Amino acid sequence: MLFLLFSCALLFSSGSTAPAVKKEVVPPNGTCLYDGLTMAELGSDSAYFVCCARIWLIKYCAQGEVFDKFNLTCVPSANPPSSCPFGAMRPSPNGDPRAFLICDGHEWVLEYCLQGLVYNPNTQTCVPEYSTERPSTPQPSTKRPTTENRPFYDGPCQESAGADGFRPNPADCRTYFQCVHSQWMLRDCGPGTQWRQSILGCDYFYGVCSFS
């Protein structure tokens, strides 16, 4: 236990203009379970929490920096990370009527409708090819797609225990897609958890979706 506290002291000894404050926080969907877990402080642009010895410690970014809630790190405030509204959808500029762009909360991701379907920017869904009415100047939308109207990933896919076999669900971070028998299948994370592509597993959910 003394070793953990000493390690925490080293962790907070640099990269901060304000001293770390020992503060126990109980998130709505879990507790501080393991060292190194990081969580954004929603009430501040420069503060964040780090788990140390099973206690949440609040830490502040250096002067002139803000906390990037997507990458969970401090970045220069004069050059904030580029992002787009989570769930926003728009047609792809590549001219393919089956293609569309969907925002994962950090960047635009290119996806395709299934064969025989095209993307309709009016309804933001994949529809039969000959029933689509395309506007002359489609505009980006911030409407969040639901599980019912969200287009599925196009297949086939390659089953894999690595990143090729799993994809996040941009419409709901508490679900994910797994490649099963060459087709993408929607899976649910357990209660109080969300999908994390970086670890290819479900992790604790604190009310803010993270797609890292």
Specify the CATH number for the domain of residue 177. Answer: 2.170.140
Whether 159 and 146 share a structural domain: no
Tell me the per-residue pLDDT of 84-115, one tens digit each, with 9 for 90 and over. Answer: 777 788 888 888 888 888 887 777 888 888 88
84 CB contacts (<8 Å, ≥6 apart)? 103, 105, 106, 107, 108
Q: Which of 76, 111, 136 is the last residue of a domain?
A: 76
Q: Which of 127, 152, 177 is the last residue of a domain?
A: 152
What span, in angstroms and rounded, lies between the C-alpha atoms of 53 and 8? 8
**pTM for the predicted model, two decimal places:** 0.33
Number of domains in the chain: 3
Whether 133 and 165 share a structural domain: no
Tell me the per-residue pLDDT of 18-66, one tens digit each, with 9 for 90 and over. Answer: 444 444 444 544 467 788 888 888 777 888 888 888 788 888 888 878 8
Band (pLDDT 50/70/90 cuts) for residue 154 is low
In this predicted structure, the answer to whether residue 136 has a pLDDT above a threshold of 50 is no
Mean pLDDT of the chain: 72
Whether 21 and 70 share a structural domain: yes
Q: Which of 56, 76, 96 is the last residue of a domain?
A: 76
Whether 48 and 99 share a structural domain: no
What span, in angstroms and rounded, lies between the C-alpha atoms of 200 and 160? 11
In this predicted structure, the answer to whether residue 122 has a pLDDT above a threshold of 80 is yes
Show the domain range for 86.
82-152
Band (pLDDT 50/70/90 cuts) for residue 9 is low
| pLDDT reported for residue 11 | 53
What span, in angstroms and rounded, lies between the C-alpha atoms of 15 and 207? 27
What span, in angstroms and rounded, lies between the C-alpha atoms of 152 and 150? 6
